């Protein structure tokens, strides 16, 4: 924030600039001490839930809005979990990211509000043992990888074991259950490839034709 920009800004913009400056100070003084790593010029807004932050790495120029959840789950797995967010990533309000294996988000990724990215599975078979489904974690590895410069629309859900290639667009409300090739535009539940970011217009295409 420069003094010239502040002086020429509207009152509401000035308030926003002051809040951003304050949150950047909080990020440096507090969050930089609890995360495994966090890069320069990153801003974490208030009301963020962070669990097991020592396994979380955040790049430079990252913005994470309020209501978001960054959680690493520990259940005596035979590996160290990794939740890594690349550079220049924006994560909007109420995004939930839960990791027990690996969740790797590439550089320049945009994640719209209400998205969920999870690599955890809850086996329903535990009901036979009288256990709560939500408390049980499948011990198998199930990493989620999101390629650089991809965009996740509002309310998209990325399920365990999925790799999304670079420069993909995931439509609002999509549920991604399988790997997505680079440059794909997908939509639906379950999500299907409907086009390419490199084509002039998106054409309806069955996912089987892309496989």
Q: Is residue 14 included in any domain, yes or no?
A: no
Q: What total number of domains does the chain contain?
A: 1
> In whole angstroms, what is the distance from residue 200 CA to residue 74 CA?
45
> In whole angstroms, what is the distance from residue 164 CA to residue 147 CA?
6
CATH number for position 43: 2.160.10.10
73 SS3 class: coil
Quote the DSSP letter at residue 180.
Answer: B
The verdict on whether 122 is a catalytic residue reads yes
What range does the domain containing 119 cover? 35-210
Q: Is residue 25 included in any domain, yes or no?
A: no
Q: Is residue 27 included in any domain, yes or no?
A: no
> In whole angstroms, what is the distance from residue 210 CA to residue 198 CA?
15
> In whole angstroms, what is the distance from residue 63 CA to residue 92 CA?
8
**Which pLDDT tens digits describe the chain residue by residue (211 residues)?**
566 676 677 778 777 777 778 787 888 888 889 999 999 999 999 899 999 999 999 999 999 999 999 999 998 888 999 999 999 999 999 999 999 999 999 999 999 999 999 999 877 777 767 778 777 787 889 999 999 999 999 999 999 999 999 999 999 999 999 999 999 999 999 999 999 998 755 544 443 333 3
Are the C-beta atoms of 104 and 144 separated by less than 8 Å?
yes
pTM beyond 0.95, yes or no: no
């Amino acid at each position: 924030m420069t003094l010239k920009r502040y002086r020429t800004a509207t009152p509401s913009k000035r308030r926003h600039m002051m809040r951003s400056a304050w949150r950047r100070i909080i990020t440096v003084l507090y969050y930089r001490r609890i995360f495994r790593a966090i890069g320069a010029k990153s801003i974490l807004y208030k009301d963020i839930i962070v669990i097991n932050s020592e396994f979380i790495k955040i790049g430079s120029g990252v913005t994470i809005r309020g209501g978001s959840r960054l959680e690493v789950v520990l259940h005596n797995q035979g590996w160290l979990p990794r939740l890594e967010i690349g550079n220049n990533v924006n994560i909007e309000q109420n995004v939930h990211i839960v990791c027990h294996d690996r969740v790797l988000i590439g550089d320049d990724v945009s994640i719209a509000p209400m998205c969920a990215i999870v690599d955890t599975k809850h086996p329903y078979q535990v009901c036979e043992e009288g256990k709560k489904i939500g408390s049980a974690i499948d011990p198998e590895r199930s990493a989620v990888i999101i390629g650089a410069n991809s965009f996740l629309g509002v309310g998209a859900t990325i399920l365990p074991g999925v790799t999304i290639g670079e420069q993909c667009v995931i439509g609002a409300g999509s549920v991604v259950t399988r790997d997505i090739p680079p440059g794909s535009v997908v939509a639906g539940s379950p999500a299907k490839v409907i086009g390419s970011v490199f084509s002039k217009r998106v054409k309806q295409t069955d996912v089987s034709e892309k496989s």
